[in-house]
């Protein structure tokens, strides 16, 4: 399998960390691709009409995207404990964590557009403030929702990779939340996180 990746994408990293945790990373060839809403990558568009990574190419199968779907597919490829619980409240908690983490990263991307990526005369301060509010509310929610004693699941992976990316991009910090910070600092030492460091700059043209 080939994973179209980006070394500074929280979503691509989530998929790769998941593969590490599921024990299937040795089945992947990881290829970095630069993408942006303003930088068209023809090879990525050929596989994903949204032009985004991650994209998973499979021998004899159709491409799979986005990170949520790729992780769900990866979870079918191993015989260990499922990282997406199959039933009950554990499933909905894991998927809810994942949803908040995905939304947090999207809010961070939006805030970067309104504070540094968009030409200054086109930036809209009320929108930046709205994204900031979503980020702070997400941190507050995660402070109460994260469970350090729960079995590892896709939600934990999504939260950790989102928080790591927020710090990497020097966006509003979560570190005023003691419980969330302690959980993240421990999670960041997992081999799957150490093997997938963030790097590189965004290219919009």
Provide the domain count of the chain.
2
Domain identity same for 94 and 51:
no
Predicted confidence at residue 203, as pLDDT, reads 87
Predicted confidence at residue 134, as pLDDT, reads 98
Predicted confidence at residue 78, as pLDDT, reads 97
Q: How far apart are CA 196 and CA 198, in angstroms?
A: 7
Asked, for residue 154, whether it belongs to a domain, the answer is yes
Domain identity same for 7 and 56:
yes
Consecutive sets of 10 residues in the chain, 205 residues long: mean pLDDT of each? Answer: 98 98 98 94 97 96 97 97 96 98 98 96 97 98 95 98 98 98 98 97 86
Predicted confidence at residue 205, as pLDDT, reads 79
Is there a cis peptide before residue 66, judged by omega within 30 degrees of 0?
yes
Domain identity same for 115 and 182:
yes
Domain identity same for 51 and 105:
no
Predicted confidence at residue 133, as pLDDT, reads 98
Neighbours of 124 (CB within 10 A): 11
Token couple for 106: 């999207």
Q: How far apart are CA 65 and CA 69, in angstroms?
A: 6
Q: pTM of the full predicted structure?
A: 0.96
86 burial (CB, 10 Å; 0-12 / 13-18 / 19+) is exposed
Domain identity same for 53 and 142:
no
């Amino acid at each position: 399998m080939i994973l179209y990746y980006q070394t500074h994408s929280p979503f691509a990293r989530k998929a790769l960390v998941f593969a590490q945790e599921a024990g299937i990373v040795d089945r992947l060839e990881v290829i970095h691709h630069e993408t942006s809403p303003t930088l068209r990558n023809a090879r990525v568009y050929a596989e994903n009409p949204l032009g985004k990574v991650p994209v998973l190419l499979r021998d004899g199968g159709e491409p799979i995207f986005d990170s949520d779907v790729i992780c769900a597919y990866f979870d079918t490829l191993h015989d260990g404990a499922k990282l997406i619980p199959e039933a009950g409240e554990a499933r909905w908690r894991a998927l809810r964590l994942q949803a908040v983490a995905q939304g947090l990263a999207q809010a961070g991307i939006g805030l970067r557009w309104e504070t540094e990526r968009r030409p200054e005369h086109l930036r809209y301060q009320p929108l930046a403030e709205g994204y900031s509010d979503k980020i702070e509310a997400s941190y507050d929610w995660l402070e109460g929702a994260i469970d350090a004693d729960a079995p590892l699941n896709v939600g934990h992976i999504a939260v950790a990779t989102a928080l790591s990316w927020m710090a990497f991009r020097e966006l509003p910090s979560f570190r005023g939340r003691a419980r969330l910070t302690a959980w993240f600092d421990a999670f960041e030492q997992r081999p799957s996180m150490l093997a997938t460091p963030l790097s590189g700059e965004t290219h919009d043209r």
